[in-house]
Structure 1
Amino acid sequence: MLSIVPPMTHKKPDNASEENLFLKAVSDVNRLTKSNQVELRPAPAAPKLRPVEADETDSAPDMLSDSGEIEKVMADTVLSYCQTGIQNRLFRRLRQGKLEITEELDLHGLNLKQAKQVLLDFIQLAYPVEGCCVRIIHGKNNRSRSGEIAVMKQYVNHWLIQHPRVLAFHSAQLRDGGTGSLYAILKR
């Protein structure tokens, strides 16, 4: 004989019993003390920008001196400079051309006054990523008589040593222009 069992019906608990179940489940939970809570800080205020002077929008200020004794530099002279505090390993990688070049400046065809201003603007605006460098192409003065001083190269050397944002520089590897260009690490 076959008996038929009616299906079980689940009776929905009323809201009061659900609330009781929840309260029973969390009854042994303790509130966090103030020291364990995360404090939400207000968003920082937007920085106040100072008005831009008319002469600032044109170009970077000329902070480099052309006076004093400027080291004579020949076309094949290797340029090298490193501030104290730069790690030897980083400077070695710069010399070997193993740092990524993020920005480049070519000074060919400019006179000294133009080159100085373009170089200042470039250094002010360049933003290399940490561990990267910039390349500055100054040329070797090959069109002049042999044995003559590479004027642009000697002034670039003189200006870069003076600039507070230049941490180190070295003549480039042959594949990147050799002694006609250089790699530089700039302060961020």
Structure 2
Amino acid sequence: MTRKKPVSLADIHLFRDEIEGVKPLKQDKIQPKRLPSKKKRITANELHKQSQAEFFFSDQFHAHFDQDGPLKYTQPGADTHEVKRLRRGETPPDLILDLHGFNKEQAKMEIAALIRTALKNHFECVCIVHGIGSYVLKKAVPSWLVQHPSVLGFHQAPLEWGGKGALLVLLEQQH
């Protein structure tokens, strides 16, 4: 083990001369985030879902869709023919997520996890069953999906996959 050399008196004076006139910074009064109580501890998986949902999906953004026809979207530059295949039911979903009983925050986290899982497993199409109910998720889900960079498009599902209460989502495969 090596011993540290003692600091010379000249170095101490040089240091003091260099920092002369420097004022200390005021400490910000930002409180750290509180951890949930023991009853509501969040698991690492839930934290990851939450961070993914917050990163991709903003509640402030509201997409506008044609009110006359079925709910559909195609990412700019994506092949519209593939989205038409969703409408005709030619592309069956590899995964189905049923959001019945979920609130907005839970639904947002589950959709982020669904897309992450689908991309990880190289799935091309997923189905999100949002239901109709009070229209909360029916309005929010399409606006969230438009924001995700891996969503090439979506279309209202055919009756066999949920009709007006579901969306078939086409995902971009990453190589």
Pairwise same-fold verdict (TM > 0.5)? yes
TM-score w.r.t. structure 1 length? 0.58
Partner of 1:161 in structure 2?
Answer: 146
Is the 1:105–1:137 Cα contact (8 Å) retained in structure 2? yes
Partner of 1:26 in structure 2?
Answer: none
How many pairs were matched up? 126
Q: Distance in 2 between matches of 1:137 and 1:73?
A: 20
TM-score w.r.t. structure 2 length? 0.62
Gaps of 5+ in 2: 1-42
> How far does residue 108 in structure 1 lie from its aligned partner after superposition?
0.5
Which amino acid in 2 is paired with 1:118? E
Partner of 1:105 in structure 2?
Answer: 97
Q: Which has the higher helix share?
A: 2
Q: Distance in 2 between matches of 1:73 and 1:153?
A: 14
Partner of 2:160 in structure 1?
Answer: 175
Change in CA separation of 1:77 and 1:154 when aligned onto 2, cut-off 3 Å: farther
Residue 59 of structure 1 pairs with residue 52 of structure 2: no
> How far does residue 88 in structure 1 lie from its aligned partner after superposition?
3.1
> How far does residue 55 in structure 1 lie from its aligned partner after superposition?
5.6
Gaps of 5+ in 1: 1-53, 145-149
> How far does residue 77 in structure 1 lie from its aligned partner after superposition?
7.1
Which amino acid in 2 is paired with 1:176? W
Could you tell me the percent identity over the aligned residues? Answer: 37
Deviations 1:99-127 (A, max 9, x none): 12111111110000111111111111114
Residue 185 of structure 1 pairs with residue 174 of structure 2: no
Change in CA separation of 1:105 and 1:55 when aligned onto 2, cut-off 3 Å: same
- Over the residues paired in the alignment, what is the CA RMSD in angstroms? 2.7
> How far does residue 176 in structure 1 lie from its aligned partner after superposition?
1.3
Which amino acid in 2 is paired with 1:104? I
